[in-house]
Chains A and B, each alone.
Chain A
Amino acid sequence: MNNTSNTAPIVAENLSRHFGDVKAVDGINLTVNQGEIFGFLGPNGAGKSTVVRILTTLLGPTGGTARVAGFDVVKQADQVRRNIGVALQEAAIDPLMSGYELLELQAVLYGIAANKMKQRANELLERVGLTAAADRRVSTYSGGMRRRLDLALSLIHQPAVLFLDEPTTGLDPMSRLTLWEEVRRLNREGTTVMLTTQYLEEADQLADRIAIIDHGHIVREGKPSDLKRSVGDPTLLINVSREQNDQAKVVLAAFGDMRPTAEGTLGVGLKGGAERVAEVVRALDEAKILVEHLELNQPSLDDVFADATGYRLEGADSAPQVD
Chain B
Amino acid sequence: MTTTRSVGILATRSVRTIRRLPSAFFPALAMPIFNMVVFAGTFFAVTKIPNFPTDRSINWYMPLGIMMGAAFGGVGLGFTTIRDIETGFYDRLRMSPTSRLSLIIGPLTGTLIRILMMTTLVIVIGIALGARFTGGVLGVLCLYASALGIATMGAGWGLGLAFKFKDMRGAAIMQLSIFLVMFLSSAQVPLDVMTGWLHTVARVNPATNILRLARVGLVNESNADYLSWNAVWGGLVAVVVMSALSLGFALRNLQKLSD
A contact set with B: CB distance below 8 Å: 56-60, 78-79, 81-82, 84, 86, 88-90, 92-94, 96-97, 101, 104-106, 108-111, 114, 137, 153
Contacts and interface: CB of A to CB of B under 8 A. Distances in A.
Interface in B183-205: none
A93 B97 CA distance: 18
A58 B10 CA distance: 20
Given A104-B9, A108-B6, A153 B92 contact: yes
23 contacts: A56-B95, A57-B258, A58-B91, A59-B258, A60-B259, A81-B96, A82-B97, A84-B95, A90-B88, A94-B13, A94-B89, A96-B16, A96-B17, A104-B9, A105-B13, A106-B92, A108-B6, A109-B9, A109-B96, A110-B98, A111-B98, A114-B5, A153-B92
Given A60-B259, A94-B13, A109 B98 contact: yes
Nearest to A104: B9
Interface string B223-236: 00000000000000
| 8 closest Cβ pairs, A-B complex | A92-B88, A109-B96, A81-B97, A108-B9, A111-B2, A96-B20, A82-B97, A109-B98
A90 B5 CA distance: 27
B94 interface: yes
Nearest to A86: B95
Nearest to A77: B258
B219 to A, nearest CB: 42
A175 to B, nearest CB: 19
A216 to B, nearest CB: 19
Interface string B206-221: 0000000000000000
Interface of B: 2, 5-6, 8-10, 13, 16-17, 20-21, 84, 87-89, 91-98, 258-259
Nearest to A90: B88
A110 B97 contact: yes
B96 A106 contact: yes
A59 B95 CA distance: 10
A58 B91 CA distance: 7
A93 B95 CA distance: 14
Contact of A58 (B20, B21, B98, B258): B258
Query: Does more than half of chain B's interface fall in helix, strand or loop, or is it mixed?
Result: helix
Nearest to B259: A60
A58 B96 CA distance: 10
A161 to B, nearest CB: 12
Given A58-B258, A109-B9, A109-B97, 11 more contacts: A58-B95, A59-B258, A79-B97, A86-B95, A90-B87, A94-B84, A94-B87, A96-B21, A108-B5, A109-B6, A110-B96
Nearest to A61: B258
B253 to A, nearest CB: 14
Nearest to B3: A111
Contact of B97 (A60, A111, A137): A111
A57 to B, nearest CB: 7
A86 B91 CA distance: 10
Contacts of A59: 258
Contacts of B5: 108, 111, 114
Nearest to B19: A96
A58 B93 CA distance: 10
Contact of B95 (A57, A89, A105, A137): A57
A157 B108 CA distance: 26
Given A93-B89, A96-B20, A81 B13 contact: no
B91 to A, nearest CB: 6
A108 B94 CA distance: 14
A58 B89 contact: no
B91 A88 contact: yes
The residue in B16, B91, B98, B259 that gathers the most chain A C-beta atoms within 10 A of its C-beta is B91
The residue in B89, B91, B97 that gathers the most chain A C-beta atoms within 10 A of its C-beta is B97
Contacts of B89: 92-94
Contacts of A94: 13, 84, 87, 89
Contacts of B94: 57-58
Contacts of A114: 5
